[in-house]
Structure 1
C-alpha cells in the first residue's frame, strides 16, 4: 500500500483485495488490524515508536516483566472481551480486589498506611476512614441532584463536609482521608479539582474485580501482532481523505494509500494537532478532541536486592494534602520479584516529569524512606513519562468538569472512510485495556461494512470476517488463571 504510482490501485482493484491503514499499534490498533486481516483485508500498521503496544509497555530491564503502562485487567470475568485471549495464552492474573467499585482496585485489608514519621496507621482506622470516604461520596450524589450545573468532585466533597460536620476528620484520620482521595485521583489520573461530579461514577465496571497481569501485557500484544505488517518509527503527520481512498504521510515523507484508515492514536496526540487532517475534520469531531480530558499517571519502578517492606499489596504514606500522599504497589506480593512501584498522578506526575529519571527515582525512594528508615537503596529503577511522551501526551481520558459524556461517542463516529478507535472512544469502559480492545474490533467491523457497501461484489468478505480468530473463539471456555497469595 506504499504509494509508488497509480498502478498500485489498479492491481488492488483487479485482485479485489481491500486495503486499510491502521495508525497506532496499541490494543485498539492491533485488535482492528487483527480482525481486518481475518476479513481478507491487506493491512499495514503505522507506529510512531520503535516498539509496538502504545500505552502498553512491558519492560524487561530488570530481567523480568514490569508493566510501565497499563497492568490491570479491570473485570476478571469471562464477560471481559479479553478473557478468551488471556485464557487461551494461559496468562496468570493476581486478583487485587474482588470489589467492582471505582474506589477500590485493592481490598481495604491489603493496605499498609504510614504517617511521615514512619508509624503505621492502625488497620481499624484505615478501615473506618475507608467507610467514611464511601459515605462522603454517596452524599455527593445529593449535591449532584440539587445542581443542574456540573462542579468538581473536590468542590462537592467540600460542600458535603460543610453540611455534615460529623464526617470531618482531624489529625491522623484527616490525613488518611486525604490518602483515599489521592487514590481516587490515581484512578482518574488527575486531581480532584478537575474530576466531574456529574460523571465520575458513570463508567461501567465488569464483575470480578481487578486483576494484575503477572507476566505483563506483552504476550497479549505480541499475539495480536502476529502476522501483521507493522512499520515501526513511522510517525504519521498527515491524513488526506478522498472519495474512495485515504492517503497517509509519515514524518520521513513516505506516503501510504488505502481504501480506508483506522485512527487509534491517543487523544493527547490528536489534541496537539500532531496529525493534520485534510479536509479538516467536522466541527463536532474537532470539538470532541478539544474538550475531552486526558489525565497522567506515571510509574517509578524500584528494584531492590531484598524485600524489607510489609507483605501487603499497597504501601501508602498519608499526609495533610493529596499532593503530599504517596502509594507504592508491591509487585513482590503478586509476582515474587522485589519491586515497589511508586505511582504519582495529576499535578504530582507532571511535576516529577520535569526531573531527570535519576532525580525522580530518588524522590520516590525518599518517600519510602519516610516510612521505612531501614530501606536499602534500589539497585535499578525505571521511570515512565506518559504526560510528555510525544506518542501519548497523557495516560488516559477521564470525565472533566462541565464536559458531556457524549464526547467519547463523538470521537468514535467515523468520518467518511476514516474510523476511530481507542479507550477514549469507549463510553462504557473508558480508560481500560478491554475498552480499547473492543473499540478496535468495532472499528474493524465499521470499516468492513463500508468497504462492502462500496464493493458489493466482494461477497467473500462476508464469509471470511470474524472479530476473533477461530482458535480464540473456540477457547472462550478456557478459565482465567486467578491467584490471591
Structure 2
C-alpha cells in the first residue's frame, strides 16, 4: 500500500466527533478544554496549522477570566484589563497593535505600586482628611527599603518566609523602619496594593515571589477599549461549543475521550487543558488514568488568589482628576483602592478592587450590598459623593468556572511548580497563566502558554503519524511586521 495513502487513512481514525453523531471531516484532531485566552490562542494556532479543533467552553461566553462587559453602554473589563509590559517583546503586542487598540499607561518600570506610578493619586484617612503627597512618597521609599531588607534575609532561606513574617523580622532588625500614626496607615495601604497585585493576603505570599518576579519592560498599560476585541479576533472561525462543561478526560493509546456534563463524548488525537487552576484544584474534571503524582502536586501546591472589581458608574465626575483614590487605615484589610477610569476612558466610572480575605468576604454579599459597601468607602473620603446610577460586580472566587482570579507562589513551595503544571502527560497538554514559568497571573503569560501547548501538541501528533516535517517553520515563526502600540498618558 502506498505510504501516503496509508498515512491518510491513519489520520482519519481519530476525528473530533460527539456521541450525538456530529462528525468532523478532517484530521489530525484536538480538543481544547477552556475558551479563555490560553485556550483560544492554542485553538487558533492549531486551526491555522490545518488541525481539526473543537473548543469546549463551560460558560455561555468566551474569554474566561478576560471578560469585557458592555452593559453600561461602553466597555469595562471585569477581569483582566492591563497589558503588563508595554513593549514589542510582549507576545500580545503585535495583535493589539494590528487591531489599533489604544493603551493608557498607568506605570513605568519598577514602580513600588507595580501597575501604577506615584504620579497621580489622592490618599485619605478614614475621616476624609487627605494625606500629603510628601508623606506618601516618603512612606513609599520606606516600603521599598523594607522589601529590599526582607529579600536579603538568608537564614532560614527567604523563600520559606511569608511576606508578613519577613516584614516583621525586618522591623526586629531595623526598628528605625517602624512607622506610627498616619505613616503606619499609609504603609498598610502600600501593603494593601501589593496584596492586590498578587490577589492574595501577605501572610500567604512567598517572599521569593516578591523577590524574583519577572516583568517585561515598558510598564503597564490599561486596555482602554477592553480585551474583548483580542478575544474575538482569536476566536474568529473556530468551532467553539459554549455551555459544554467537561467532567472527564480519558487518555488512551490512540487518542483522548472527553465527556461533558450531559454525557456526550468527544474524541480526538489529543487534548489541551486550558481551564483555570482553581477548576483543576476542585477536581471537577476527572482524569483517567489518574494524573501522575508530580502533576497533582503542582496543581495542589500552587496558590490561587482572588481580586474582584466593583464597577461604580456615576452620572458625572465629582472626584479629583487622579488615576487612583485610596483610603488608608490601621490594617491592609481596612484599606481601600479605587481606579479612576475617567482618566483613561472619559467615562465617569470608579472601580473598587478588593483582594484576598476582603474579596472573599465581599463575595458573600449580594451585588447590591457589595456596591453599597464600596460606595460607603468612597463616602468616607468624599462626603459629597453622589449615588451610583449603575454597578457591576465580579465574583471570580465563587464563580464555578474560575474559582479564583489567578495563581501565585505559596510559602515554601518552589516556583518550578508552574513548569510542572505545563509539562504534557502523554497526549494531554496544559496551558493557562498558571502554567507560565516566567509570567504567571498575566494575560500575555496565558497567551504564550497557549501557543506553546499548541506547538507541543502539533509536534507530538504529527510525529505519531510520521508526518512531521523537520524543515517546516515552527508555528508563529512567520510573524508579520509589528505595528506600534497606541499609548497615551495624561
CA deviations over 1:340-386 (Å, ceiling 9, x no partner): 00000000000000000000000000000000000000000000000
Does structure 1 retain, via aligned residues, the 8 Å contact 2:114–2:197? no
Aligned match of 2:466 in 453, 456, 462? Answer: 456
Q: CA deviation at 1:65?
A: 0.4
Q: What is the DSSP-based 3-state SS (H/G/I as helix, E as strand, rest coil) of the residue aligned with 1:280?
A: coil
CA deviations over 1:127-178 (Å, ceiling 9, x no partner): 1111110000000022245536611110010111122111111110000000
Q: What is the DSSP-based 3-state SS (H/G/I as helix, E as strand, rest coil) of the residue aligned with 2:119?
A: helix
Alignment-derived partner of residue 155 in structure 1 = 165
Alignment-derived partner of residue 344 in structure 1 = 354
- CA distance in 2: counterparts of 1:199 and 1:331, whole angstroms: 29
1:3 partnered with 2:8: no
CA deviations over 1:217-255 (Å, ceiling 9, x no partner): 000000000010000000000000001210001111111
Structure 2 spans left out of the alignment, 5+ residues: 1-15
Structure 1 spans left out of the alignment, 5+ residues: none
- CA distance in 1: counterparts of 2:467 and 2:363, whole angstroms: 54
Q: What is the DSSP-based 3-state SS (H/G/I as helix, E as strand, rest coil) of the residue aligned with 1:108?
A: coil
Q: What is the DSSP-based 3-state SS (H/G/I as helix, E as strand, rest coil) of the residue aligned with 1:428?
A: coil
Q: CA deviation at 1:101?
A: 4.6
Q: What is the DSSP-based 3-state SS (H/G/I as helix, E as strand, rest coil) of the residue aligned with 1:237?
A: strand
Alignment-derived partner of residue 10 in structure 2 = none
Within a 5 Å distance, the mapping from 1:347-366 to structure 2 comes to 347-366=357-376
Does structure 1 retain, via aligned residues, the 8 Å contact 2:250–2:289? yes
Q: CA deviation at 1:466?
A: 2.9
1:467 partnered with 2:472: no
CA deviations over 1:52-85 (Å, ceiling 9, x no partner): 0000000011100000000000000000000000
Q: CA deviation at 1:180?
A: 0.2
Alignment-derived partner of residue 248 in structure 1 = 258
Q: Assess, with a 3 A threshold, how the Cα gap between structure 1 residues 58 and 7 changes in structure 2: closer, same or farther.
A: closer
Aligned match of 2:209 in 190, 199, 221? Answer: 199
RMSD: 1.7
Q: CA deviation at 1:100?
A: 3.6
- CA distance in 2: counterparts of 1:304 and 1:412, whole angstroms: 43
CA deviations over 1:6-28 (Å, ceiling 9, x no partner): 996xx86xx6x200000001110
Within a 5 Å distance, the mapping from 1:170-185 to structure 2 comes to 170-185=180-195
Does structure 1 retain, via aligned residues, the 8 Å contact 2:151–2:158? no
1:323 partnered with 2:333: yes
CA deviations over 1:302-337 (Å, ceiling 9, x no partner): 000000001111100000000000000000001000
Alignment-derived partner of residue 8 in structure 2 = none
Does structure 1 retain, via aligned residues, the 8 Å contact 2:159–2:207? no
TM-score (norm: length of structure 2): 0.94
